[in-house]
Structure 1
Amino acid sequence: MAEPDRFLLADRIGAGGMGTVWRAWDREDRRWIAVKLLDRYDAGSLRRFVREQDLRVRHRHVVQPTGLVPGGFTMDLVRGGSVEQLLRRHGPLPDAFVRVVLEQTLEALVAVHARGVVHRDLKPGNLLLEPTGTGRPWVRVSDFGVAAVVGDERLTRVPGGVGTGGYMAPEQADGAPPDPRQDLYAAGVVARQLLTGSPDEAPVTGPLGPLLARLTDPDPACRPPSAADALATLRDLGVPRDAAWPEVTDVLERPRPPERLLPSYLALVAGCFAGAAAVGGLLGWLLVR
């Protein structure tokens, strides 16, 4: 685990169901990174937080944890905002852009599913963009807070599904065990939303229509059997290499100089965690694995 004073927290840049994401200055590597800190400390959220830190999928289109800090973990800082923010600014996105977003998301899912992991919460807000200007978009799948390992112990034991309404496959919403085809359903809903501006069920015309219909079929047996199969089908349709792309800019404001930031924040979090036996046990379990 890194020393608390190594990272200087600058500003909060995001929030999720369990934690907040901060921009931080890494004093050792002399670069800006992201730090995700846990907000709630009940046993269930702690175990999910530890699992998220442990689910490291090394892939160019995945945002993965890079190290532990007191009360959270570090990640790469992705500066182009989310696909959700781009959709809000731009409205429905061009077919060529959506094909590339879907292609890169499926590439990420191939790697994620190869680890036996199901993301369970794919949505535009969890697809981050590198700032590529008017160049080819670069997507990175983020936020594995409710991800699950197929066949592993389930950390949520309440009626219904885990995920975000509107993007969950019907069987996931009913509480079915994690299955990679649930992520394919969500990927199809996301692509449909990027084309139409709404995640609601609506037929999509054009070349992507048949693939999106398969991805979002209510019956998981009628969906593509794997992300690799869906990716092959998409590439057979043709994924553009050059197009007039919507501009993806750097959405983060210029940070304050590092010397004005507060290195004591993580030290304070460390003190809080030191007083919580449950946290100590869980982090100890993680570190000796």
Structure 2
Amino acid sequence: MGEVFAGRYELVDPIGRGGVGAVWRAWDQRRRRYVAAKVLQQSDAHTLLRFVREQALRIDHPHVLAPMSWAADDDKVLFTMDVVSGGSLAHLIGDYGPLPPRFVCVLLDQLLSGLTAVHAEGVVHRDIKPANILLEATGTGRPHLRLSDFGIAMRKGEPRLTDTNYVMGTPGYFAPEQMLGEEPDFPADLFAVGLVTLYLITGRKPDAEALVRRFTEHGTPNAPEDVPEPLWQVIANLLQPDPYARFRTATGARKALAAAVELLPEPAPDEEPIEVFDQLGPLPPGFGPNGPCPGRDPAPDADEEPPPAAPAEPDPESGAEPGTESRPAPRSEPEPAALAPPQPAYPPTRPYTAPQPLPRPVPPPPGTPAGGAVPAPPPGRPKRPGPPPKVAVPVLVFALLCLAVGIWALTVS
């Protein structure tokens, strides 16, 4: 807790675990908000390529939980998403068991709405299951669903990262054509949606293989107990073993669901309300709703050594020596004036000596031969020091030339 990743994301506490990495609640120091950060180890090329695919998705839809940003630090990478605190559909079934039909229809409509946006981007999710469908903490209000975890999603036409005979996904939610090794397509996602819907309304994980055998050998079976017939017609179409007899698009399934909802009976007056509450729990010490608490020590950066302290310089006003801490003097009772020695306002650290300017050269008196000694000025008349003269370069060259000619003339004579 408290590790800063890539100088921006402070990992606060773990809130979940995916297939290839842990999910943390993190504080985004740039955007000043909490985010969910999935941290992965770059263990192999396949994992890294799947990370690249997943973080590249930018689907802006209220019922899709797609990555927002990403960062890398040494052997780890992460990408961030919105924090969704209401748990998953698996948590909801664990708390309440079978859900009321109209409540299931609301969830199914939102799931199909999000899936429509995903398919519009040419993406096949390939891992639709209750654990990957999250809920906002809305209490007893209208539920709000978010489709998440695009770790094995792929765009149609992209090369597969596994052998064609290897099926990717969660066992129990495979479409029949997936088991035969066909290329992933949108109807395979819709088959998984049908299994999830049956799970919500019965409270039990359906046996996909047994359902496929029943549909294949006996046609569409009758509606299970407690499943209204109009809703069963939609679910049965989603579960057709033949992908060409199934809904071809999520939009078509939504239209059929809207017609079925009109035929459902009204809910019973004593029906228990379904509450979606916060599953994450409180923030750890040192963090509040608006981020890290004031006065808290800043968290260290991941894999970063603290910088060495710069050598201190003496303070000319305080008189402190290098390496000492300057503190205000403790308050105490003042000493009597007779005993307290006078203190200067600013005690000097060392004697100050002003730089002395060079003396101005005195021109020789008339008649002094070239190269002769210049007589010293008479005593008692000190010359005022001044700045050295500013001599132009051509004048200096001319003076040196004259001096050289004078020396040569004396030598010849």
Smaller-chain TM-score bracket: 0.7 to 0.9
The equivalent of 1:21 in structure 2 is: 23
Counting matched residue pairs gives: 265
CA distance in 1, matches of 2:166, 2:254: 30
The equivalent of 1:164 in structure 2 is: 170
The equivalent of 2:255 in structure 1 is: 232
1:195 aligned partner, one-letter code: I
The equivalent of 1:249 in structure 2 is: 277
Gaps of 5+ in 2: 212-222, 305-413
1:217 paired with 2:245, answer no
CA distance in 2, matches of 1:46, 1:78: 25
1:144 paired with 2:172, answer no
- CA drift of 1:238 comes to 2.1
2:91 aligned partner, one-letter code: Q
Structure 1 residue matching 2:115: 3-state secondary structure:
helix
Please show how residues 13-92 of structure 1 align to structure 2 within 5 Å.
13-70=15-72, 71-92=77-98
RMSD: 2.1
Q: Is the 8 A contact 1:135 1:245 kept in 2?
A: no
Distance 1:214 1:6, change over 3 A: same
Match of 2:179 among 166, 173, 180: 173
Q: Is the 8 A contact 2:66 2:81 kept in 1?
A: yes
CA distance in 2, matches of 1:31, 1:99: 33
The equivalent of 1:281 in structure 2 is: none
2:301 aligned partner, one-letter code: S
- CA drift of 1:261 comes to 7.9
Length-normalised TM-score, structure 1: 0.86
Cα deviation code 1:249-281 (max 9, x no counterpart): 01111112134784534x57xxxxxxxxxxxxx
Distance 1:263 1:129, change over 3 A: farther
Q: Which has the larger radius of gyration?
A: 2
- CA drift of 1:16 comes to 1.4
Cα deviation code 1:210-248 (max 9, x no counterpart): 1101101111111111100001100111279x9764100
Q: Which runs of 4+ in 1 moved over 6 A?
A: none
Structure 2 residue matching 1:69: 3-state secondary structure:
strand
Q: Is the 8 A contact 1:9 1:262 kept in 2?
A: no
Match of 1:183 among 179, 189, 194: 189
Q: Kindly indicate which of the two structures has a greater share of residues assigned to helix.
A: 1
Please show how residues 99-114 of structure 1 align to structure 2 within 5 Å.
99-114=105-120
- CA drift of 1:9 comes to 0.3
Structure 1 residue matching 2:68: 3-state secondary structure:
strand
Q: Is the 8 A contact 2:5 2:301 kept in 1?
A: no
Comparing 183-192 and 68-77, the one that deviates more: 68-77
2:165 aligned partner, one-letter code: P
Distance 1:82 1:211, change over 3 A: same
Q: Is the 8 A contact 1:149 1:178 kept in 2?
A: no
- CA drift of 1:160 comes to 3.4
- CA drift of 1:48 comes to 0.7
Gaps of 5+ in 1: 269-289
Cα deviation code 1:119-152 (max 9, x no counterpart): 0000010100001100010000000000011111
CA distance in 2, matches of 1:43, 1:11: 28
